[in-house]
Amino acid sequence: MLIEFPYGKGSINTDIPSDNLISVVGPRYPKIDESAAHKIINALENPIKSQRIKDVAKGKVIILVTDLTRATPNPLLVPPLLEEIKKAGVKSDNIKIIVANGLHGHADEKGLEELLGKRVMEEVEVANHDPNDEKNLINLGTTSSGTPAIINKEVAETDFVLATGLIEPHFFAGYSGGRKNIFPGVAAERAIYSNHSYKMLDHPNATYGILRGNPVHEDMIEVLKFAKLDFIINVVLNKKREIMGVFAGDAIKAHEEGARFLDSIVKVKVKKEADIVIVTNGGYPLDRNFYQAAKGMATGSLVVKKGGVIIMLSECIDNTRALGGVVHDYYHKLCKGTKSPDEILKRVREQEPIKDQWQAQPLARILQKAEIITISEVKNQIVEDFLMTPASSLDEAMDMAFKKMGSDAGIIAIPEGPYIIPTL
């Protein structure tokens, strides 16, 4: 069976023998029966558990937007948001957009234009959040888990805060979107370390598709008791990046409704675990760097047999033949020189709090279960530093996997990677 796997802005195709194929896991997308613009306007005019923006926005207004690794259609969402804000009598010079980068690094001018569109860039002030800019951070309190609610001071002290977002499966927060533009989006680095700690991520409910009882999610929600997030507009997309649903209104209730909608689409049952799982990071933009690629690997680990093989396709254009940038170099340092996933976990426990531990820890857990073979633009030596096996093509990776698991190995294919939650 010929299967297409997203890779960067293109795809890689391979023919998997029918005798080996257990299933191709994909979402149950609903039919799109109205335009994106209509969905957005309808959601803004009929918010969930909230008044309309035009009736409550006042004073200084900040819009928080997701960073460049997210496929959030900000150029579609922000202009109608601006129109709603202006209907409340707020002028453009009292509106500011802040990119909720968390620890993902800043977008340059070109990146900001890609993120928002030229029109928006010309209309209002745009800035990046810096999690280490101490003069622009404020401690609002402490959660019951001990996480300091330290966030962007300008956001905390503004009159009205809105956020765009994309609701998709998240490998330890359950789902993205909603509260995440405040925390970790505009939080302090040390606060994020607390929420992403070894203990929090070690909890069995800190995984894809779980909100209730997930300590990471519930800690983020608790931060909202201290911080201001007056209104959100979040979307759910299909693989063509078309908008299937728009959820606007109260930061918690609208997000929960969006997550329930997504549940019905992305939670897909498979009849048994596979010897080999072929998975992607969903293509561009999520597969733009090696750091994010752990998400697709985590998806594959949900349905691979103990001792099996995960084949991961992630272009990593930001890391072309190098790890790329210094934003996630600690992820590399935590893994480099180790001989086993147990050693990675030991380093995390002994060195925390340390940057990128929340990526190294899940990776080690995956490696305890299965071998990972990767197809990417990252140097082979760096791939090996992460205890993974590089391959130059999908065909080569398949040959390697069959050699290990046998010619009759069962295969599950997950072309859309972390945008799907396969369950047994």
Same domain (yes/no): 245, 292: no
Give the model's confidence band at 320: pLDDT under 50 very low, under 70 low, under 90 confident, else very high: low
> Given this model, what pLDDT does residue 188 score?
97
Question: Could you write out the DSSP letters of every residue in 371-413?
Answer: EEEEESSS-HHHHHHTT-EE-SSHHHHHHHHHHHH-TT--EEE
Q: Mind listing the pLDDT tens digit for each residue in 91-104? A: 999 999 999 999 88
pLDDT surpasses 90 at 319? no
Assign residue 11 the CATH number of its domain. 3.90.226.30
Are residues 191 and 168 located together in one domain of the fold? yes
* CATH for 208: 3.40.50.11440
pLDDT at 46: 98
Domain C-terminal end among 265, 294, 321: 265
Residue 323 pLDDT > 80: no
Whether 30 is covered by a domain: the verdict is: no
Looking at 207, 239, 265, which one is the last position of a domain? Answer: 265
Q: According to the model, what pLDDT value does residue 410 have?
A: 98
Q: Which of 14 and 327 is assigned the larger pLDDT?
A: 14
Q: Of 265, 282, 298, which residue sits at a domain end?
A: 265
* Residue 149 sits in the same domain as residue 116: yes
| Co-location of 249 and 340 in the same domain | no
Question: Kind and range of the H or E element at 348?
Answer: helix 341-351
Domain count for the chain? 2
Q: What is the mean pLDDT of residues 287-300?
A: 93
DSSP string, 146-208: S-EEEEEHHHHHSSEEEEEEE--EETTTEE-SGGGGTTTTTB-HHHHHHHT-HHHHTSTTSST
Which pLDDT tens digit goes with each residue over 141-160? 999 999 999 999 999 999 99
Is residue 163 a part of any domain in this protein?
yes
The yes-or-no verdict on residue 327 having pLDDT over 50 is no
216 and 286, same domain (yes or no): no
Q: Are both 258 and 275 inside the same structural domain?
A: no
The residue type at 392 = S
pTM of the model: 0.89
| Bridge partner residues of 142 (DSSP) | 148
CB atoms near residue 174 (< 10 Å): 23
Q: Is residue 119 part of a domain?
A: yes
| Residues 337 and 404 grouped into a single domain | yes
Return all residues near 192 (Cβ < 8 A) that are at least 6 apart: 102, 103, 131, 183, 184
Domain assignment of residue 176, yes or no = yes
Of 103 and 24, which is predicted with more confidence?
24
Question: Could you tell me if residue 248 is inside a domain?
Answer: yes
Domain extent at residue 245: 36-265
Report residue 107's pLDDT band, with 50, 70 and 90 as the boundaries.
confident
For residue 327, being part of any structural domain is answered with yes
Catalytic residue IDs: 104, 170
The reply to whether 108 and 239 lie within a common domain is yes
In a domain, 168, yes or no: yes
Kindly report the length of the chain. Answer: 424
31 within some domain: no
- Could you report the per-residue pLDDT of 167-190, keeping only the tens digit for each? 999 999 999 999 999 999 999 999
Q: 19 and 42: one domain?
A: no
pLDDT of residue 322: 47
Mean pLDDT across the chain: 94
Q: Verify that 221 and 287 share a domain, yes or no.
A: no
Instruction: Compute the half-sphere exposure of residue 84: CA atoms within 13 Å on the CB side of its CA.
Output: 29
Share of the chain above pLDDT 70, in %: 98
Residues of the chain with pLDDT > 90, as a percent, come to: 89
Residues 187 and 219 in one domain: yes
pLDDT per position as a tens digit, 184-223: 999 999 999 999 999 999 999 999 999 999 999 999 999 9
Q: How many CA atoms lie within 13 A of 178 on its CB side?
A: 29
Residue 183 and residue 210 share a domain: yes
